[in-house]
A and B are shown apart, each in its own frame.
Chain A
Amino acid sequence: SQQGEEDPQALSIQEGENATMNCSYKTSINNLQWYRQNSGRGLVHLILIRSNEREKHSGRLRVTLDTSKKSSSLLITASRAADTASYFCATDARHNQGGKLIFGQGTELSVKP
């Protein structure tokens, strides 16, 4: 399979706590992206980190990328009940045409009020 792997598969935390999700992938990449999916809906883009970047922030989101280990992590700080969703990492492999993303299996996050 070309897919990367994410862990944990499921994560349950209390509101206000931080949530960390990890992603590993197999090939050299142009960039790595994180998406969010609310139940029954399409995926929404959260953040993109390029292969020459090591860390990126967007609001309460912090993404790190370690290309030597082919891994990334997504940190959501001060989580809210509204953050309950599935989170997917996706890689845009080097030499691919833009837009041909390979997705991980996702992490299901549950934030309890």
Chain B
Amino acid sequence: NAGVTQTPKFQVLKTGQSMTLQCAQDMNHEYMSWYRQDPGMGLRLIHYSVGAGITDQGEVPNGYNVSRSTTEDFPLRLLSAAPSQTSVYFCASWGPGQGYYNSPLHFGNGTRLTVT
């Protein structure tokens, strides 16, 4: 199993450009989420989805859009990139596993985004 796959690994954007960070999982997990990681801030939740067609905002949603048309994919869109969005972005998925509250998140390897 590939697990959670994120593309691209690195990206440089100019202020105002748009792009989509891709995330796919092959574990048939209903729950998927996006986090950003900044130095000294840990991971902060941007958006999450509990299933196809259902998304909700996390702690830091401004400047980002998401949609969930399939169970497998959960892309993150930056409509107009800003330098404050320079960060490392992680996608994660979750499924109930052995017990509803006993399962960990599965993370991709991240996308390192720089906005100049």
Contact = CB atoms under 8 A, between A and B. Distances in A.
Interface of A: 1-3, 9, 30-31, 33, 35, 40-45, 48, 50, 88, 90, 92, 97-106
Given A30-B101, A43-B107, A45-B104, A99 B45 contact: no
B74 interface: no
B109 A41 contact: yes
A105 B48 contact: no
Contact of B101 (A35, A50, A90): A50
Contact of A42 (B40, B45, B59, B108): B108
B107 A88 contact: no
Nearest to B97: A98
Contacts of A41: 109-110
Interface in B83-116: 90, 92-94, 96, 100-110
Contacts of A33: 104-105
A99 B48 contact: yes
A24 to B, nearest CB: 13
B41 interface: yes
A35 to B, nearest CB: 8
Contact of A104 (B4, B33, B42, B50): B42
Contacts of B102: 31, 48, 50
A28 to B, nearest CB: 13
A103 B101 contact: no
28 contacts: A2-B59, A3-B44, A9-B40, A30-B101, A31-B101, A33-B104, A33-B105, A35-B105, A40-B110, A41-B109, A42-B90, A42-B107, A42-B108, A43-B105, A45-B105, A90-B105, A98-B31, A99-B33, A99-B48, A99-B103, A99-B105, A100-B31, A100-B58, A103-B42, A103-B43, A103-B44, A105-B40, A105-B42
Given A97-B31, A103-B35, A3 B42 contact: yes
Nearest to A4: B42
B100 A98 contact: yes
